[in-house]
Structure 1
Amino acid sequence: MADLGCSAGPNTLLVVSKVMDIIGTKSQKLNRPPPSLQAFLNDLPGNDFNTIFKSLPSFYKKLENVKGSSFGHCFITAVPGSFYGRLFPNNSLHFVHSSYALMWLSEAPKQLVSKEAMNKGNICIAKTSPPPVFNAYLEQFERDFKMFLKAEELVPGGRMVLTTMGSIKSDDPLCIWEVVGLNLNDMVWEGLIEAEKLDTFNLPYYAPTTEEVKKAIEIEGSFTLLKLEVFKMDWDLT
């Protein structure tokens, strides 16, 4: 399996542990010995993989204490790099997981600053962004997500479980980064940041709608969408 965008916090190994629980339960029902699990943890090269490596002895010890020595072996490897490019050989993965990583694009749309700043005063799509800004971000998302979905690395019948931030309406989002942009504008007025630097800075962030996700999956063609759930967050309560 691969966990794409694993980060390096206390939850990094949680998905691996859950997958092992599921494999162990299924193996017991089938009256078979549990297979070994090869887990690849992926994030950008700047991720703190050393912290993950240092936590592995205690992780393995906990597995042995809780599940016993007869439980299937788990081998964990780090794979640094962008998941918008190739990371694994063909037909090498059975399961891919990614949690709250896919809203980060491979890059901010270049056309936003190709001639003049198109998204002045904002750092992402905001209510004051003109339509060309929305279109540029949508096109970048479509390119990146279709590249992500190319399935050469999965075995036939492989599965993905993906969780990401989304929007009800992409060109009128409710995004915490818009609030950050407002604060940065205040810093411009206070003379702490140059207006030109703010106007030319755009986050590589896009939260798609369910329809945009469905459309990209259908057009790319490598996967069949089996289930899609939406969890709404009330920013006023956070």
Structure 2
Amino acid sequence: MSEVGKRETRMKVEQVLHMNGGIGETSYSNNSLLQKKVISLTKEMRDEAIKNLYCKTFPKRLGIADLGCSSGPNTLLVISEVIKLVDKLCQEHNHESPEYQVFMNDLQGNDFNNIFRLLDRFTEKLNDEVEDGIGGPIFFYGAPGSFYGRIFPTKTMHFIHSSYSLQWLSQVPKGVENNKGNIYMATTSPANVLNAYHEQFQRDFSLFLKCRAEELVDGGRMVLTILGRKSDDKYSKECCYIWELLAVALNDMVLEGIIMEEQMDTFNIPQYTPSPSEVKLEVLREGSFTIDRLEVTEVHWNAYNDWNEVDFRSSLSKSLIDGAYNVTKCMRAVAEPLLVSHFGETIIEEVFGRYLEILVDRMSKERTEFINVSISLTKKV
């Protein structure tokens, strides 16, 4: 592919890769409890990183960024926690609060307007929750663009956070044309397809680390959470299964003539879910950061249920149907823009109706979970 072709492929992904905007029933804003649970799992890791960062230098200006911030109730959650913690540390050490420079980053298709509408209420709520209010002023900025490139000026950031964003690749990997009948890495995918996905992740994540190393101050910190897998087996159900079931629904529609086979064969999800060892290896290879913590957690597909609430005995139990419905809405909020871009809007209701039925069946028979790989990093001096 020519360099122009590469840029066109990447631009297309950047234009269509975003969550469902707005505040409707199928919006990401109303279907992101799972992501909130994942964020809560790394609070201790974030707090440790912030304490170690701030108490060493007590900067007068604190640059904070959330990469892949999306739009909804989770968007400002981490920012709120960071500011409250820093303000508490200032009081404990009798230091003046810094000026907070907050950058919200996502691709250009993100619903930034919804974020900006939340800012006044966010600041009011933050001041209400802190005794005597937040000490330093808070300046908010939108930073649209791909994080697989430079976003901020050199050595201006102190703390960078990203959750459930880095599994998304800059583009669909080259050389996956023979991944017929699949929309992602799957148990039936040829080995070259899995290798192509892995190599694209290596390039993208290495570039991400290089760019952030240029933007962070010496000793700056990052906490990243990536949808991943425990196993080093790229065919593992831990990473592939949720998309394989969506592919079942799409393939059924191909057999019935609702979707053209050629359309199905040319659709692939630009995502890679790495193992902890793959994440660690790329950090060591790139060389700009030291690893402070590397952890793996898991959450049920249905964010509204704990394991002990899941009824495996009947595929028709209300809890299972409700659970599958919640998972369907969560996946729709994430995948609908990609599907609409490739297949058009007319198939959406049909495909997610079928997907719901498939999820009810599978969730009644087996334990279904997402795996999260979280890593805390310090930029080398």
Shift of 1:230: 0.3
Corresponding position: 1:187 with 2:253:
yes
Corresponding position: 1:148 with 2:196:
no
Q: Residue 132 of structure 1 is aligned with which of 192, 205, 219?
A: 192
Q: Residue 52 of structure 1 is aligned with which of 99, 103, 115?
A: 115
The equivalent residue for 1:88 is 152
Aligned with 2:78: secondary structure? Answer: helix
Aligned with 2:298: secondary structure? Answer: coil
Q: Deviations over 1:126-176 (max 9, x none)?
A: 011111011000000000000000110011001100001111234213231
Alignment of 1:1-238 (within 5 A): 1-67=64-130, 68-69=132-133, 71-112=135-176, 117-150=177-210, 151-167=213-229, 168-174=231-237, 175=240, 176-235=242-301, 236=367
TM-score, normalised relative to structure 1: 0.94
- CA distance in 1 between counterparts of 2:248 and 2:134 reads 56
* 1:170–1:207 Cα contact (<8 Å) kept: no
Q: Quickly say closer, same or farther: Cα 1:234–1:58, change in 2 above 3 A.
A: closer
Aligned with 2:289: secondary structure? Answer: coil
Deviates more, 1:128-137 or 1:26-35: 26-35
* 1:44–1:82 Cα contact (<8 Å) kept: yes
Aligned with 1:52: secondary structure? Answer: helix
Q: Deviations over 1:169-210 (max 9, x none)?
A: 342132311211111111111111111111111110100011
Shift of 1:118: 1.4
Shift of 1:65: 2.2
Shift of 1:228: 0.5
* 2:84–2:134 Cα contact (<8 Å) kept: no
- CA distance in 2 between counterparts of 1:63 and 1:233 reads 28
- CA distance in 1 between counterparts of 2:149 and 2:90 reads 34
Give 5+ residue unaligned stretches, structure 2: 1-63, 302-366, 370-381
Q: Deviations over 1:74-127 (max 9, x none)?
A: 111110000001111100101100000000000011221xxxx21110011001
* 2:87–2:134 Cα contact (<8 Å) kept: no
Return the letter of the residue paired with 1:133: V
Q: Quickly say closer, same or farther: Cα 1:88–1:105, change in 2 above 3 A.
A: same
Q: Deviations over 1:19-59 (max 9, x none)?
A: 01110121122111221211100000111100111111111
- CA distance in 2 between counterparts of 1:222 and 1:65 reads 39
Structure 1 runs (4+) deviating above 3 angstroms are none
Shift of 1:71: 2.2
Greater helix share, structure number: 2
Aligned with 2:166: secondary structure? Answer: coil
- CA distance in 2 between counterparts of 1:5 and 1:232 reads 20
TM-score, normalised relative to structure 2: 0.60
- CA distance in 2 between counterparts of 1:170 and 1:25 reads 44
* 1:97–1:162 Cα contact (<8 Å) kept: yes
Q: Quickly say closer, same or farther: Cα 1:132–1:84, change in 2 above 3 A.
A: same
Return the letter of the residue paired with 1:203: I
- CA distance in 2 between counterparts of 1:192 and 1:225 reads 49
Give 5+ residue unaligned stretches, structure 1: none
CA-atom RMSD, angstroms? Answer: 1.3
Aligned with 1:224: secondary structure? Answer: strand
